[in-house]
Structure 1
Amino acid sequence: MVGSKDLPPSTTPFFPNVFFNNQFRAKPQWPAPDMTLLGQTAIVTGGNTGLGYEAAVQLLDLKLSRLILAVRSPEKGNSAAAALRKLHPRAMIEVWPLDMSSYDSVQAFARRAESQLSRLDIALLNAGVIKLTFGTVASTGHEETLQVNYISTMLLAVLLLPILKAKRQPSGPPARLTIVSAALTLAAKFPNRAAIPLLPSFDDPATFDREEHYHSSKLLAHIFLWNLVDYVSADDVIVNLADPAWCKGTELARDVQGPMKLAVKLFGTTTGRTKRVGASCFIDAIVNKGKESHGCFLMSWKIHPFSAFLYTPEGTIVTQRVWDETLAELDFAGARAILESMKGV
């Protein structure tokens, strides 16, 4: 199988060319008419709004039997669940609290999944933020974008992997873990790449750049996945990253205020995909793509190379540093032991 790691780096010289192709020329790949998720259970983080909600709709359209909406606000989650139940009254739809800025919340969510779910086939990790001003998470000391988009997302992924492996359909197809990504990783400058240690360098307010912090937080997930798939068999869980491209009508930039808010709305209206098309990228990664997508970055409904930086000698060094620092950060949750166990029988 030829995955993202095996492809040559992208040679597109100018990121706007990538953006144009991704936004306007790529064609959606919809599930086959006879595709069914009957009997299956899925988790969607951030599933109460935007692309997460739309992905939930599309999973339910495929006859998904049980849906867990993992949300920070139970009130908003319950409102979304009520709307989904009207569309799909036969499905079991539940709302579970999950605060991606809290290690305790992430761990409690994973423990609940292990103890209360008899089956788990799909996890779509969609929750994410773009912070316009610097702020840290009090309990961890990390900058919020880094915490939510990268560290806590990787923690949840690691915690869910053995649950997905154990609770997928017996003798059935592999479980699925899809992490929402962004084409902007390909444009990330990653200015603090040489910092030692690396992760704490994101926590310095003097170096905060709202665009670069977001780009780099998504790039770090690519870097972590590079090594992660060495511990996870595609026969157990297929893990991939999916880019929905720029979409209008989402709440990702909900913190934007003033003239910038109007500019973002106008840009989305004129160039953005609909939420239906954007969320179809996640559904494609989950139901259309097979083992060939394990460890891959999916963009424009195709397997795409990672950022060119990852293929360089410097990228190799930084990839190992990110891996080691992330596992050290998540040592309290036994992340390294969990991954080693995934290599077992």
Structure 2
Amino acid sequence: MKKSFLAFIRDQFTAIPLVPTADLTGLTVLVVGANTGLGLECTKHLARMKPGRLILACRSQQRGEAAIAQVKEETGYGAAELWLLDLAQFTSVIAFADRFEKDGGRLDIVVANAAIATEEYDTTSDGWETTLQVNNLSTDFLCLLLAPRLVETAKKNPGVKPRLVVVGSETHFWVDFPDEVYKAPNAFELISSKEFSVPRMGSRYMESKLLGTFFTQSLAELLKDTPVIVNTVNPGLCHSELLRDTTGVRALVTSLIKSILARSTECGSRQLVYAAVGGSDDPDRLRGAYLNLYGVEEPSDHTLGEDGKERRDKLWKDLIYVLTKVDGRVKDIVQEYSR
């Protein structure tokens, strides 16, 4: 599928239905990037469904505590927990996953929402281009490390189908990677390199969402024989803080477009909630799906067909190689569910 700008405009003016609801009694819900924007609004909606545990994964203690206070004030839910997580550091992801392994118990819903958008090339302390690490490598790492807990929850609770939601974007339709990425010894090392990145930083956020679409397909394939449902969802253009680091002419253009087309963050968050609890009449339909406007849509042509599968398999192989060097459990998890 190719999505035109006119189709994007049409979607932006399409009314978002009322937020889906579900009984989350006794369930454990985790929202990453829950202290602001879409993540916070999504968290509020889920809090109103009274989950057994609601974990807010945030980078900042102060902002996380403020979010918990806001959730309690607006929803009456007073049992939210703050767990610190910095996706710019692999050690933080490992510590978070280790803590969950020891203290988390069951895990029913994960909303992997945190993301950044910047036009400046910079690297993390781990040596990766920052957007690539936060939006992809660390997010993927966390999802993989938590996958066994989702599977175990389903095994111990027959009939339960845990969900893992990767927050995506329609912007993934508007970028492709050149063939050199798929021919590189390691695609992620090339994408992260200064030589490759600097001329493309204006589209790096969109590229990260294309990578996220590929990842969702691969993880769904890995977990296809389990009850766990993995999907990716497009919240649309919203009045969030995502583009706060945009500067210059691009910032002016973005501000103008948002003033005309952007929906409220609360409206956009409803789509995240749909991916997490909606479609209960046929939840398996959502496996590996790209969701938009409460429905399944075909993702970018770049991800489809035999060529798309070859690209996806290359990226998956290279991702697992990178993450296995960080934590050997990644390889074990992949082997476990590949049998």
Q: Same fold (TM over 0.5)?
A: yes
Q: Which runs of 5+ in 1 are unaligned?
A: 1-9
Query: How far apart, in 2, do the equivalents of 1:331 and 1:300 lie?
Result: 36
Alpha-carbon spacing, 1:16–1:302, altered in 2? closer, same or farther (3 Å): same
The alignment partner of 2:13 has SS state of helix
Query: How far apart, in 1, do the equivalents of 2:80 and 2:225 lie?
Result: 28
The answer as to 2:127 corresponding to 1:149 is no
Name the structure 2 match of 1:7. none
Name the structure 1 match of 2:331. 336
Indicate if the aligned counterparts of 2:151 and 2:226 stay in contact, CA closer than 8 A: no
Name the structure 2 match of 1:302. 295
After TM superposition, list the pairs within 5 Å mapping 1:54-203 onto structure 2: 54-139=41-126, 141-168=127-154, 170-191=157-178, 192-197=180-185, 198-203=187-192
> What are the superposed Cα offsets for residues 278-297 of structure 1, whole Å, 9 maximum, x if unpaired?
00011101111211101111
Counterpart of 2:89, as a letter, is S
Name the structure 2 match of 1:4. none
Q: Which runs of 5+ in 2 are unaligned?
A: none
Indicate if the aligned counterparts of 1:31 and 1:287 stay in contact, CA closer than 8 A: yes
Name the structure 1 match of 2:272. 282
Alpha-carbon spacing, 1:156–1:328, altered in 2? closer, same or farther (3 Å): same
Indicate if the aligned counterparts of 1:240 and 1:293 stay in contact, CA closer than 8 A: yes
Alpha-carbon spacing, 1:306–1:193, altered in 2? closer, same or farther (3 Å): farther
Query: How far apart, in 2, do the equivalents of 1:270 and 1:125 lie?
Result: 28
> What are the superposed Cα offsets for residues 63-87 of structure 1, whole Å, 9 maximum, x if unpaired?
2232111111111101111111223
Query: How far apart, in 2, do the equivalents of 1:110 and 1:167 lie?
Result: 15
After TM superposition, list the pairs within 5 Å mapping 1:237-316 onto structure 2: 237-248=228-239, 250-258=240-248, 260-289=250-279, 290-316=283-309
Query: How far apart, in 2, do the equivalents of 1:138 and 1:27 lie?
Result: 40
Aligned length: 329
Name the structure 2 match of 1:205. 194
- Answer with 39-48 or 223-232: which moved more: 223-232
Counterpart of 1:97, as a letter, is L
Shift of 1:336: 2.5
Shift of 1:228: 2.1
Shift of 1:342: 3.3
After TM superposition, list the pairs within 5 Å mapping 1:14-25 onto structure 2: 15-25=4-14
The alignment partner of 1:25 has SS state of coil
Shift of 1:222: 1.6
Query: How far apart, in 2, do the equivalents of 1:84 and 1:234 lie?
Result: 36
Name the structure 2 match of 1:232. 223
Shift of 1:26: 5.7
Query: How far apart, in 2, do the equivalents of 1:262 and 1:174 lie?
Result: 44
Indicate if the aligned counterparts of 1:67 and 1:91 stay in contact, CA closer than 8 A: no
- Answer with 202-211 or 118-127: which moved more: 202-211
Q: Which runs of 4+ in 1 moved over 4 A?
A: none
Query: How far apart, in 1, do the equivalents of 2:108 and 2:208 lie?
Result: 27
Query: Under a length normalisation based on structure 1, what TM-score does the superposition of the two structures give?
Result: 0.89
Query: How far apart, in 1, do the equivalents of 2:93 and 2:284 lie?
Result: 27
The alignment partner of 1:63 has SS state of coil
Name the structure 2 match of 1:325. 318
Query: How far apart, in 2, do the equivalents of 1:313 and 1:176 lie?
Result: 27
Shift of 1:106: 0.4
Shift of 1:234: 6.5
Indicate if the aligned counterparts of 2:56 and 2:80 stay in contact, CA closer than 8 A: yes
> What are the superposed Cα offsets for residues 10-54 of structure 1, whole Å, 9 maximum, x if unpaired?
2x5x6203312321136436325xx32122211111100000000
Query: How far apart, in 2, do the equivalents of 1:118 and 1:228 lie?
Result: 22
The alignment partner of 1:330 has SS state of helix
Alpha-carbon spacing, 1:258–1:117, altered in 2? closer, same or farther (3 Å): same
Shift of 1:195: 4.3
The alignment partner of 2:205 has SS state of helix
Indicate if the aligned counterparts of 2:119 and 2:204 stay in contact, CA closer than 8 A: no
